[in-house]
Amino acid sequence: MNERDSRKSTGKVRVMNKNSWNVMVCALKLCLAAALFWGGSDPMAVEAAVLQKSAGAAVGQQGAEALKHSVWGQVGCAPGTGTEQEQSGIPTDQLSFDVSRFVLPSDAKTLVVVEGFAVNGGREVYQRETVEDTALWNRARVTAFVKGANGNWVPRLQSPAVLGWGGMSNKRHSGDGTTPIGLWRADTPFGWAAPDAGFPSEYEQIIPSLRTQYWSDATNRLEHSHVLTAQSGERLWEDWAKELYAYSLNTGFNRNHTHQGAGSALFLHCTKPGKPSTAGCVAMDPSAMRELLKWYAKGALYVAQAPEGQFEAVYGAFSENGDSAPGTFSPSQRQMPDTATILVP
């Protein structure tokens, strides 16, 4: 008995879920597009003509936008749309940037976007051991996207964070407490914690008993030396780093210390209770940092940082050398909306 006869005799109908339906429709559309293309026709032009005729309106310069919202997009075939985006569970309606506009190398697999909000506390607040009053914190929102099957960016992580006591700047210099602005490729995963399953193979665990691992302010790299006096920079094995650097990732800013005086050791790392700001890094929930390291292991991870609503000059500012984004930026005056830590495996 074949499958069709079986369904007829039992009276049961197999209901296709939304994802399966979308996949089937996309496949049919791709087949139709291929047939039109090899037959000498432009698939998009054909659909535009159909839209124009059915809607009774000229497509003209709005053709691309019409096509974007046509059936191609509605079933998840167009970039930046589809059920992956809808089902991720990460709220994106308040984001101050358009993730599809970032210009990245073709190897990009993960994009971490940091939006900086109002500067509420300066150096004096930063120097306190803990600050319970969150109104004095310099807040940031971290949203991580993973490249989906269609090449669109799908949100997979969001977390509140804190940034530099001096706010954000694209003219950063060492000691000013600012978080740099720009777009870079992250590198050098490390931390005090033992590596989890799924961590990158190059993850380097900090072993405090060795007293050799430090982040050099001369090379802006993780270095090793048994001579303590040669360890110029952050001694990663010292006790102060245990919580903050449980999981860490270098943002790629000022790679190899190309720009002397711009600063070094600008990481994504963990925060701890009561921490109001950093010396320039972005510190987030440890669970979020742990998840980012797992995404890093799956392919190139890029980091974009700017004050909220000011990403226009950052979209095309990727720098292999870790340069800051060009342009003029101003401190955000907005307080960060309520943001929870959400992780989507």
Position 264 confidence tier, pLDDT thresholds 50, 70, 90:
very high
Q: Please tell me the predicted confidence (pLDDT) of residue 88.
A: 72
Closest of 170, 114, 179, 184 to residue 324, by C-alpha: 170
Q: Cβ of 54: how many Cβ atoms within 10 Å? A: 8
What is the rounded distance in angstroms from the CA atom of residue 208 to the CA atom of residue 210?
5
Q: Please tell me the predicted confidence (pLDDT) of residue 32.
A: 53
- Exposed, middle or buried by CB within 10 Å (0-12, 13-18, 19+), for 17? exposed
Cα within 13 Å of Cα(5), Cβ side: 2
Q: Please tell me the predicted confidence (pLDDT) of residue 42.
A: 52
Whole-prediction pTM value? Answer: 0.77
- Stretch 272-289: mean pLDDT: 98
pLDDT at 138 over 90: yes
Q: Domain segments of the chain: what residues?
A: 3-74, 89-343
DSSP string, 119-164: ----HHHHTSS----GGG--EEEEEEEEE-TTS-EEEEEEEEEE-B
- The answer for 159, left when phi > 0, alpha when psi is -120 to 50, beta otherwise, is beta
**Of 26-35, 114-123, 217-226, minimum mean pLDDT range:** 26-35
- pLDDT 10s digits, 56-115: 433 343 334 333 333 333 333 333 444 455 457 899 999 999 999 999 999 999 999 999
pLDDT at 33 over 90: no
pLDDT at 192 over 70: yes
pLDDT at 5 over 70: no
Q: Cβ of 325: how many Cβ atoms within 10 Å? A: 24
Share of the chain above pLDDT 90, in %: 74
- Stretch 177-181: mean pLDDT: 98
pLDDT at 266 over 70: yes
Q: Are strands 213-216 and 222-224 parallel, antiparallel or unpaired?
A: antiparallel
More confident residue, 143 or 28: 143
- N residues, the chain: 345
Beta bridge partners of 250: 187, 267
Position 345 confidence tier, pLDDT thresholds 50, 70, 90:
confident
pLDDT at 9 over 90: no
What is the overall mean pLDDT for the chain?
83
- Stretch 201-213: mean pLDDT: 98
- pLDDT 10s digits, 292-305: 999 999 999 999 99
